[in-house]
Amino acid sequence: MYKLALSCFLMASACGNPSKLDQVTASAPPAQALPKETPMWNEPLKTLKGADTKLAEYKGKALMIVNVASKCGLTPQYAQLEDLQDKYGPKGFTVVGFPCNQFGGQEPGSAEEIAEFCSATYGVTFPMMEKVEVNGPGRHAIYKTLTAVPDQAGKAGDIQWNFEKFVISADGSKVTRFAPQTKPDDPAVIAAVEAALPR
């Protein structure tokens, strides 16, 4: 319990002051196989605007699933996520953002407030879903599948903080996980995105 509390404190301190959070740079970990019949593709979702959808709507594209927040020291990663969207979107890629308020209460806003912040501050064009939980008993079904995947340090399990990233191949068969502090423009992330694009 002490180690968990200390870990949460250190991550919260880092998000308040990004200079205290070291960037993790490593070669892309091997992509992990996703179960062929994983239910995550057809689990009900709602967009930030309240429209019904599901992850299967994006099958055939390489995806980056990322839990986001508006008031974190890592929030400037939105700009790099949008850069990825601009560069690789025409090649069959999309970021899908999942706002989450489970880490330091750093996504407290309404759907309308989140949408306005993302648009006005970072010009976000990629799909944004409604606010979800990514850990604990209320964890969304998509994250039940994704949290079983280890990151570049070999660690599976709960999402660590805002802006944890999962790159899913266009055929839906493989996923690569990156820690929150690994930036979207890290060479390892770029390599995973390019490997995930449709062939």
Residues with catalytic annotation? 72
Encode 4-43: b = buried (16+ Cβ within 10 Å), e = exposed.
Answer: eeeeeeebeebbeeeeebeebeeebbebbebeeebebbee
In the three-class reduction of DSSP (H, G, I as helix; E, B as strand; rest coil), residue 71 is classed as coil
Q: Which of 89, 132, 134, 90 is nearest to 114 (CA)?
A: 132
Q: Which amino acid is at 77?
A: Q
The tally of CA atoms less than 13 A away on the side-chain side of residue 163 is 24
